Structure 1
Amino acid sequence: SSCGVSKTKNDDKSNSETSKLQVELEKLHDENRKLRSMLDQISRSYNELQGQLVLAMQKQAHGSPQEQKSELNRMSSSK
């Protein structure tokens, strides 16, 4: 009968460890979901900023239409 008692203790210990591991796994899943969400937000923000930078660089390279008109007026009035 002592074998039955030790088997029950081992089963209880095993069930307890399994429960602890399941709780830990769920915590890790939650953390993973939060991190993925943060990464998605950061990626969206980065892409938006990159788009704004490209537009700003294009404007700087080509000048806005108003700036181009001003430049043309200056050039023609200096002749």
Structure 2
Amino acid sequence: MQQESSSDCPWPGTGQASVERLRSLRTEWLAVLNGLTADDLDKQAPFPWHDAPEQALADTLAWVTAELMKNTAELGQLHLLRATAG
């Protein structure tokens, strides 16, 4: 697996640009999910469960979605902390 560099995931900069980028990524993610068929979802997941034939792509997508929700909650918590810090 190729190691990504920080330039592979550039930061958009301002708060507004960051919000726009996150919204764009959400739209892309939904397009990926909407493009999958039931057969696609039932295929064996190559990641993150290596050599686990009982894990389907649907399991990976659920895991990724949970991670995205967790990260969003963390960003919201940081926003609240910053707002209350003055």
Common topology (TM > 0.5): no
Which of the pair has the greater relative contact order for Cα pairs under 8 Å at 6+ separation? 2
- The TM-score normalised by the length of structure 2 is 0.37
User: Where is the helix percentage greater, Structure 1 or Structure 2?
Assistant: 1
- The TM-score normalised by the length of structure 1 is 0.40
Structure whose alpha-carbon radius of gyration is higher: 1
